[in-house]
Amino acid sequence: MKIAVIGGGAAGLMAAAAALETHPSAEIYVIEKNDGLGKKVIISGGGRCNVTTGITDVPTVLSKYPRGGKFLSSAMYAFPPEKIAHWFEAHGVPLKVEEDIRVFPCSDDGHDIVRVFEELFRGSGVHVWLRSSVERIDKVATRFSLSFKTAKEPLIVDRVILTTGGQAYRQTGSTGDGYAFAIGLGHTITTLAPSLSSFTTKETWPAAISGLSCESGKISVKGETKAHFTGPFLFTHKGISGPAVFALSSLVAFESFDPEHPMEIAIDLFPEETMDELRHRFVVMLQEWPKKQSGNVLSLVVPKSLADIVVSELQVSEKRANELSKADILAIITWLKSAPLHVIGRGAGDEFVTAGGVNLKEINPKTMESLLCPGLFFAGEIVDVDGFTGGFNLTASWATGRCAGQQAAR
């Protein structure tokens, strides 16, 4: 049996490893356009590679996918985060679970993850073709013919596993080629959009506090879209970023906004406190420091740089504590509980994941095999599945890759 895995990213690497494990005598070809395997794996998590999540409850894990959670169920139960972690440790990579429940190699080096597969393939029936770009895939009777952009002869195989990724991080080779292959073999592609991106805001004041992070904030989209997310975030020189922002951007991946039609959001900087609780706390401080400037008293509640922005935005920076009216106090508390911002764009280059992909109705979720083209399998980001930040997208790639590899080799 000959199996071609097109794309040497996370899903492709795991698919090839699973196929080798299932059918050791199979001829497996990993075809990668880059000069090395796992480019995106290596740079994920800031180069540390957020391998998976430390969450062990599968239903909880599946809830972390805005799109495709139900589809992932079978593959995820078969190869959940716990088994993924055990698999890598059994292959010589010690892992650690950090406070935020993300799992990394103890070495903090993504190269160690990719090296596992390089060593597995070395001396086995896996042929790794680097700097090789597939131009087209044709179904010939029950087999597939792969044509290349170079003068290389067509490769005839029994199974094809498409793991070419989405179109995020184009510099790593994820340029959306796989969508054309899928369409050519009868599949449809859903609407595509960037996910897990930062937000650029109309307001310029975030630039003054660029780098200031908040451990927890509830960011909500105002208007008809009811999306919201609570978690850590930070201000940037262009707007806001961080885990909560990435998650919210995933929830609104298909919303359109620009400078003429901004998306209005509000940030609750104290999601654990009610308006009344926060107001009472602030009033006590005002009474304790009646002669202090309002911004200086507010700096006992939030960082001084942010306090200065709040009193400036509300035009009370010249007032002392005992000069603030009830309306002033209410305005300050309202701002802290609902800081207004207008999103006009997504952060260029910050998209880690593509929302959308091969239509899930056209794939058997138990095998990852095409329902339209027997012998064709899919895994990873090419399908219409995407998760929040925190190791969930790599987890989906490992799980679907393993499923596709095992089933293709049977």
* Encoded amino acid at 88, one letter: F
Predicted pLDDT of residue 49 = 95
- For 188, the token pair is 């449809």
SS3 state at 346:
strand
Strand 239-241 versus strand 228-235 pairing type:
antiparallel
Cα–Cα–Cα angle for 44, 48, 50, rounded to 5 degrees: 60
Cα–Cα–Cα angle for 131, 177, 181, rounded to 5 degrees: 110
The pLDDT averaged over each successive group of 10 residues in the chain (410 residues) is 97 98 97 95 91 98 97 98 98 97 97 98 93 95 94 92 78 69 97 92 98 97 91 97 94 95 98 97 97 96 97 96 97 98 82 87 98 98 95 97 98
Predicted pLDDT of residue 348 = 57
Fold adopted by 2-193+355-408: FAD/NAD(P)-binding domain (3.50.50)
Half-sphere exposure of 302 (CA within 13 A, CB side): 27
Half-sphere exposure of 97 (CA within 13 A, CB side): 9
How many C-beta atoms lie closer than 10 Å to residue 225's C-beta?
Answer: 14
Domain ranges of the chain: 2-193+355-408, 197-350
pLDDT tens digits, one per residue of 177-224: 899 999 999 999 999 998 899 999 999 999 999 999 999 999 999 988
Task: Name the one residue in this structure whose structure tokens are 């969450």.
Answer: 55
Q: Residue 297: which residues within 8 A CB-CB, separation 6 or more? A: 282, 285, 286, 289, 321
pLDDT tens digits, one per residue of 102-155: 999 999 999 999 999 999 999 898 999 999 999 999 999 999 999 998 878 999
**pTM of the predicted model over 0.75:** yes
Q: Residue 267: which residues within 8 A CB-CB, separation 6 or more? A: 217, 218, 219, 220, 233, 240, 338, 339, 341
The alpha-helical segments, DSSP class H, found in 48-146 are 58-62, 69-78, 81-90, 111-121
